[in-house]
Amino acid sequence: MATIKDVARQAGVSVTTVSHVVNKTRFVSDKGRARVEQAIRELGYVPSAVARSLQRSATATLGMLIPNSSNPYFAEIVRGIEDRCFGAGYNLILCNTDDEPLRQCKVLQVLAERRVDGLIVVSSGEDPALPGMLSGLRVPAVMVDREIDTLPCDLVETAHMHGALLAVQHLTTLGHRRIACISGPAGVVTADQRVEGWRMALAGLGVPSAGLLFAGDFTSESGYAAMHAVLRMEPRPSAVFVANDLMAIGALCAAHECGVAVPDDISLVGFDDIELAHFTCPPLTTVAQPKLRIATMAVDMLLERIEGRRQSPRKVMLQPELRVRASTAPYRGTSR
């Protein structure tokens, strides 16, 4: 690979002159600039981003942690963040913690060694070392989707409890009363908040929730297994609130296997509104998170801190919306 010295030798100028042409840091005559640019093209010289970052104490790179890169919800968030980063002149390094809380600190250390200018973090669950690690890095950070109470940093999240209330209220408006819930993993704030919203909605109607909670882990496999358990109940619930769309897709598959029609025999509501929710059979009623706004605000808030335009932490709570499709219908049974 050609070096800056090779370019200087080929152009017949000093290394300093090549540096000024590449970095646009000082005037170089048109003749000198032309020789340098021609040498760069002939040699295929690529400036070292590492060297430039060391000189400027900035890399124009952001790091991002997500729990599971195979989850379409996170993929859609990442796409929005990458687009915003590109528009702002930043690159993004993406790291997946594979839903392992204890892996988070190791990944953060890797990102710190890459000298990222800021961090966007979706935590994988409870890790007592994570707040201290983030504080110790002294790099601006914004949490997305999942708050850490003990960490004073920026946060962008959706009102998960309110979203669950919207889902269950939609089902109760349709006449359903025996409404099961397939939850996400215990200890993950978003999962706990969605379960709490389900409980609150039923309690507000004086409807019991005991025995109607089934554990999942935000994967389609866990939704599939939990739905089989729901369908074995006597009496069977007439509706199910599923804490994310991936699990809801697994639940749809389980219902189909058991010959239970959705929504004729049982109604189903998911959470997230991933793109696949439009194309399930039937299309999935779900609670939509404003993913593009989440992504945009996360990057913008982080750049405010990096560029020194704001010092104090800021928390933004975005409101979800219900997307009614064909997986829910009025209650048609006789027993409650």
Q: How confident is the model over 72-97, as pLDDT tens digits?
A: 999 999 999 999 999 999 999 999 98
Q: What is the mean pLDDT of residues 254-283?
A: 97
Q: What is the pLDDT of residue 57?
A: 57
**From CA 211, how far away is CA 190, in angstroms rounded?**
21
Q: What is the pLDDT of residue 56?
A: 53
Amino acid, res. 297: M
Q: What is the mean pLDDT of residues 99-119?
A: 86
- The percent of residues in the chain predicted with pLDDT above 70, rounded, is 96
Q: Do the beta carbons of residue 57 and residue 74 sit within 8 Å?
A: no
Confidence of residue 2 (pLDDT cuts 50, 70, 90): confident
Residues in the chain: 336
Q: Does the pLDDT of residue 314 top 90, yes or no?
A: yes
Q: Do the beta carbons of residue 306 and residue 122 sit within 8 Å?
A: no
Average pLDDT, whole number, for the chain?
A: 91
Q: Does the pLDDT of residue 108 top 70, yes or no?
A: yes
Confidence of residue 50 (pLDDT cuts 50, 70, 90): low
- Comparing 334 with 149, the larger pLDDT belongs to 149
Domains of the chain (ranges; CATH) run: 4-47 (1.10.260.40), 59-159+290-319 (3.40.50.2300), 160-288 (3.40.50.2300)
pTM assigned to the model: 0.83
Q: What is the pLDDT of residue 186?
A: 86
Closest CA to 284 of 223, 193, 335: 223
> For the ranges 2-6, 128-132, 312-316, 322-326, which has the lowest average pLDDT?
128-132
Environment class of 264 (CB within 10 Å of its CB; exposed 0-12, middle 13-18, buried 19+): exposed
What residues does 158 pair with on adjacent strands?
A: 318
Q: What is the pLDDT of residue 334?
A: 57
